[in-house]
Structure 1
Amino acid sequence: MRDLGIYIHVPFCGKKCSYCDFYSVDYTRQTAEDYVSAVLRNIRYYSDKQRTVSTVYFGGGTPSLLAPEQLGSILGDIGNCFALDTQAEITLEANPCTLNEEKLHELRKTGINRLSIGVQSMIDSELKILGRVHSAERAEGAVLDAAKAGFDNISCDLMIALPNQGTESLRYSIERLTALPVQHISAYILKTEEGTPFDCDDIKLRLPDEDSTAGLYCEMVRSLEERGFMQYEVSNFAVKGFESRHNCRYWKCEDYLGIGPAAHSCYNGKRFAVERDITGFIRDDVQSVTVTDESPCGYEEFAMLRLRLKEGLCFNDVPEHRAEIDEKLPPLIHEGYVRTDGERVWLTSKGFLMSNSVIEYLVF
């Protein structure tokens, strides 16, 4: 039985955030119903009882806009069409404004056992700049309600390097967030994506410069680890044992099947992507995909992804490349970007700040 993760892209948003370039459309009840029907058709198309599904991830968009019954029907079909592990990690991304205690109890009944709540900041003025519709108080209430409903695996998103952000405001958000019953934090540096409302001089001129961003990142790592949230990937921190099993699939080149417009897959020896078109997804009997890599997870990709993880790259996994890696290590070690114990190499916090450049130098 080969292990598999399933990613469901739910492309609905009540209000698109000003910094976001993920594929999403406005939510309507009819479109959501048609979308769910299309998801079920595709699950049945890919049906394979020889694959054990150990992780399911509802991402978006705002997956929590779907009704618990709709999410339950999707999980039911996954269980019918694959061998769904009884201990599977099943994650739902959620906006705080879409959650209440009653709905959270219903979500628990569907089998969802992990929440990823889009908090971003615990300061109302920062949330307003980001275009978020919730307040810090609402975010806090959503986490507390989730814990009351029985969720004991809760992740929250945090965003850093916001316009005019300093270390004190970042530290405040971290202190307030980690005081809540959460076990995982995904922390991202804000980037101005082309074509978004944030792609303008008014925002760019207020963003921290490179040195200030580096300082904020290092402060974030230090503050989170002081509170028991250990870094295990460039942007992810967890209490021991609560690392995201599904996201680790991506960094370890393990199989995952993506369903929904704009979803990506690494499945049965190929990488492919679904068209960013909900109309076509709903219309077609089977989602339309484009193969993006005929033979994924070669040395460069494998090493690049492994180096995103705090555990790093094990030399025994790439013995034929050991000599060329060893030759490139001395200057990186001298500058404090990487460390090695002779069996593996991993990036330091300073290295993670420059991860793209460090990894490119080391691997390519």
Structure 2
Amino acid sequence: MSRLGIYIHVPFCGRKCAYCDFYSVNWSKSAAVDYTAAVLRNIRHYGDKARTVDTVYFGGGTPSLLTAEQISSIISEIRSCFALEESAEITLEANPCTLSAEKLAELRKIGINRLSIGVQSMIDRELKILGRMHTAERAEQAVLEAARAGFDNISCDLMIALPDQKPEDMRFSIDRLAALPIQHISAYILKAENGTPFDCAEIRDRLPDEDSTAELYLAMVELLEKQGFMQYEVSNFAKEGFESRHNTRYWKCLDYLGIGPAAHSCYEGKRFAVERDLSAFIAADVQQVTVTDESPCGFEEFAMLRLRLKEGLILDDVPEHRAELLKKLPPLLKEGYAETDGERIWLTPKGFLMSNSVIEYLVF
């Protein structure tokens, strides 16, 4: 059977960020204990020694709020119930405030080999606007401590188009991040998501307009690539060989199993999601899921996800759609939204900015 990625959604946060619409609740010691026990039950339920797991991703929330012992027990259970590949990529998302030299050494020892650190900005004023608990100095210290602990696959999150952000502010954060011993940057355009504290006129009026946001994005791509972080997906940049193996599963329609409240899966021919409810997850012997797609990864979804990647869509993978795709392509080439070598179609950075519209025109 095909290889498998496992996603563990850890729904705890020390404090909810004002822009975030991901599912999370306040951390407590007892809730973390009960949550971990529920994760272990679900791993045993889905366990299949015929499935080789080559990526594990602890996302959230703030997974680094779990103890090293709790994380270790989850990794051990995956190893017991699946065929966990020795060279598996095992990622932990972390808030700089939850990391210490001691904690990092423990994480490295239990098998975490990739860290994704939620930095977001290297300017204290911007971090305060975002409601982050750390300072730029603490973020820098966390990265340096991680490198000293032996981590050689470190990713940092960066947000752009922040309230009142100027191009020079973004450049400052990129330059300061790029000077650190990191190998990957995930860079996102801030959106005032519905229902979040940022969903208000006071914030929206301070966000860069559409043209300014486009200029920031294109400048960011150029700056990161000059620093050696090559774009491989709409929002992701890596030094050679350090692309996220787990996240690439999503864009290539490969199998992944999600465990935890609000986790999503594409597993055994179906897409399904777990309810956004920690109490329900803890109470159930097996997580309750809702099937969201009975037959995922058809042409439209496959092409849409592949076009998020810089390598683009390989036409031999969709031979029955080759002629129609190439017929639609000329206006996109003329406007600089896409490129082709006759065997692949891929979007340019300008095309990535308009990806929803471009992909809809090309694929649907």
Shorter chain as denominator, the TM-score bin is over 0.9
One-letter amino acid of the structure 1 residue matched with residue 159 of structure 2: M
Q: What is the CA–CA distance in structure 2 between the aligned matches of 1:22 and 1:227, rounded to whole Å?
A: 30
Equivalent-residue separation in structure 1 for 2:4 and 2:90 (angstroms): 13
Alpha-carbon deviations, 1:147-177, whole Å to 9, x = none?
A: 0000000000000000011110000000000
What residue number does 1:180 align with? 180
- The CA distance in 2 between the partners of 1:6 and 1:111, in whole Å, is 15
Q: Distance in 1 between matches of 2:98 and 2:2?
A: 35
CA–CA distance in structure 1, aligned partners of residues 228 and 37 of structure 2: 42
Within the alignment, does 1:13 sit opposite 2:13 as a pair? yes
Q: CA separation in 2, counterparts of 1:8 and 1:330?
A: 42
- Residues 31-70 of structure 1 correspond to what in structure 2 (within 5 A)? 31-70=31-70
Write out per-residue CA displacement over residues 35-62 of structure 1, whole angstroms, 9 at most, x where no aligned residue.
0000000000001000000000000000
Instruction: Tell me which residue corresponds to 2:292.
Output: 292
Q: How many Å apart are 1:323 and its aligned residue?
A: 1.2
Q: Which amino acid aligns with 1:287?
A: Q
1:231 matched residue in structure 2 = 231
- 2:316 corresponds to: 316
> Which whole-Å deviations, capped at 9, do the CAs of 1:101-138 have from their partners, x for residues lacking one?
00000001110000000000000000000000000000
Q: 1:259 matched to which residue of 2?
A: 259
What is the distance in 2 between the residues matched to 1:160 and 1:266? 30
Matches within 5 A, 1:216-227: 216-227=216-227
Superposition pairs for residues 1-364 of structure 1, below 5 Å?
Answer: 1-364=1-364
SS where residue 150 of structure 2 aligns? coil
The CA deviation string for residues 2-47 of structure 1, in whole angstroms up to 9 with x for no partner, is: 2000000000000000000000000000000000000000000001
List structure 1 segments (4+ residues) > 6 angstroms apart after TM superposition: none
Unaligned runs of 5+ in 2: none
Letter matched to residue 201 of structure 1? A
Q: Distance in 2 between matches of 1:128 and 1:355?
A: 31
Percent pairwise identity: 77
CA distance in 1, matches of 2:113, 2:314: 32
Unaligned 5+ segments in structure 1 are none
Measure, in 2, the Cα distance between the counterparts of 1:107 and 1:227. 29
Normalising to structure 2: TM-score of the pair? 1.00
Matches of 1:109 and 1:141 in 2, distance apart? 20
Partner deviation per Cα, 1:212-244 (whole Å, 9 max, x = no partner) = 000000110000000000000000000000000
Amino acid at match of 1:149: A
- The residue type paired with residue 16 of structure 1 is K
SS, match of residue 237 in structure 1: strand
The 8 Å contact of residues 2 and 50 in structure 1, kept in 2 or not, is answered as: no
**Offset of 1:306 from its aligned partner?**
0.1
